């Protein structure tokens, strides 16, 4: 490459080659476009309107109910957004030819996949966890002072993020296996909305599905609510959390394995 003497060349070797550049581009897609504020507006606005309307109503529900509604609007519905956003991350790039284009540059396939996971996780964390949770729990803190434990709020936000990470990595993995959008978006959506029924049929499934992190299962509080109330979580709740983290890692590893064998 004569004529490049003025440049400091990228000399990185191994699987990380191109990761930094892809990551910058992935973050720019979130934070230098309208994507971040549009998502903040959707998810934060939804929480503001619903929780605000309930909390400032003269016949407001009790604090536990308010917290549950907040968890539904921060844990359940944004997961739909995660699935819809992520179905495009790999399938979209494969179908539009941009994956083949970037892979014709000195970029490794693991770097491409990991840049998608990291950039989208950060985007989801800010716009679908931090902003809506901050709005929802601030409203609750205003209307019911001293009912929320700040550390518990942060921990609950962490659990909500892990719930979203489960669907993010699952959708991403499916994107590496299929070339059509239908199964990539359909399977995670079916899992998201049918979790409760599946657990009803086969209770052992509660260990591998993230439902009980967010929504009560029978009379058992979800892990998020336990943390918000500042009580100690049960060992089963922590086991489920750990399994969901492991599953998310497994989905990411599967995506890496499959994408490495993909032909363009």
Partner 1 sequence: MSLSDRYVIETHGLSKTYKEIQALSSLDLKVNHNSIFGFLGPNGAGKTTTIKLLLGLTRPTAGSATIFGMDSVSHSVEIRARIGYLPQEPHFYEYMTARETLRFTAQFFFKGPKKAIEQRVDEMLALVDLDDKADRPIKTFSGGERQRLGIAQAQVNYPDLLILDEPAASLDPLGRRDVLEVMSKLRKYATIFYSTHILDDVQRVSDTVVILNQGKLVAQGPIEELLAGSEGVIYIVHLKGDVDAALKILQSQPWVGAVKATQHNEGSVFQVSVTDPAAAEAQLLKLLVNGPVVVTDFHRKQYELEDVFMQVVEGGQNVGQ
Is residue 29 a contact point for partner 1 (CB under 8 A)? yes
Residues 18 and 105 sit within 8 Å (Cβ to Cβ): yes
Q: How far is the CB of 94 from partner 1 (least distance, A)?
A: 11
> What are the CB-based long-range contacts (under 8 Å, 24+) for 176-179?
176/90, 176/113, 176/254, 176/255, 176/258, 176/259, 176/262, 177/258, 178/91, 179/91, 179/94, 179/95
Rama region for 126: left / alpha / beta (φ>0; ψ in -120 to 50; rest): alpha
* Residue 66 structure tokens: 């308010």
Per-residue string for binding with partner 1, 235-264, x by CB under 8 A?
----------------------------xx
Joined together, the tokens standing for residue 171 give: 């959708």
Q: Which is nearer to partner 1, 29 or 144 (CB)?
A: 29
Q: Is 97 left (phi over 0), alpha (psi -120 to 50) or beta?
A: left
* By the rule CB under 8 A, 16 interacts with partner 1: no
Q: Among the candidate windows 23-31, 53-61, 201-209, 248-256, which touches partner 1 by CB under 8 A?
A: 23-31
> Considering CB under 8 A, how many residues would be counted as binding partner 1?
29
Question: Using CB under 8 A as the criterion, what x/- string covers residues 200-239 for binding partner 1?
Answer: ----------------------------------------
Within residues 94-123, the interface with partner 1 by CB under 8 A covers: 96-98, 100-101, 103-108
List interacting residues with partner 1 (CB under 8 A): 1-4, 6-10, 17-18, 21, 24-25, 29, 33, 96-98, 100-101, 103-108, 263-264
């Amino acid at each position: 490459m004569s004529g490049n003497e003025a440049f400091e060349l990228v000399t990185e070797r191994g699987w990380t080659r191109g990761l930094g550049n892809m990551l910058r581009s992935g973050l720019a897609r979130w934070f230098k476009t309208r994507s971040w504020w549009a998502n903040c507006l959707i998810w934060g606005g939804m929480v503001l309107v619903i929780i605000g309307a309930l909390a400032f109503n003269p016949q407001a529900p009790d604090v536990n109910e308010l917290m549950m509604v907040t968890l539904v609007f921060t844990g359940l519905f944004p997961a739909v957004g995660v699935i819809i956003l992520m179905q495009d991350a790999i399938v979209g790039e494969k179908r539009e030819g941009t994956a083949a284009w970037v892979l014709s540059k000195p970029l490794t396939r693991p770097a491409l996949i990991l840049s998608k996971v990291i950039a989208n996780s950060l985007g989801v964390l800010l716009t679908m966890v931090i902003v809506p949770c901050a709005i929802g729990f601030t409203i609750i803190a205003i209307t019911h002072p001293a009912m929320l434990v700040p550390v518990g709020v942060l921990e609950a936000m962490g659990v909500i993020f892990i719930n979203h990470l489960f669907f993010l990595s699952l959708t991403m993995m499916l994107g590496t296996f299929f070339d059509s959008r239908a199964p990539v978006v359909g399977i995670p959506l079916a899992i998201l909305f049918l979790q409760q029924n599946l657990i009803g049929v086969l209770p052992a499934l509660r260990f591998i599905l993230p439902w009980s992190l967010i929504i009560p299962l029978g009379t058992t509080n979800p892990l998020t609510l336990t943390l918000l109330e500042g009580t100690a979580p049960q060992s089963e709740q922590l086991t489920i959390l750990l399994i969901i983290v492991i599953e998310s890692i497994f989905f990411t590893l599967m995506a890496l394995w499959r994408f490495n064998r993909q032909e363009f």
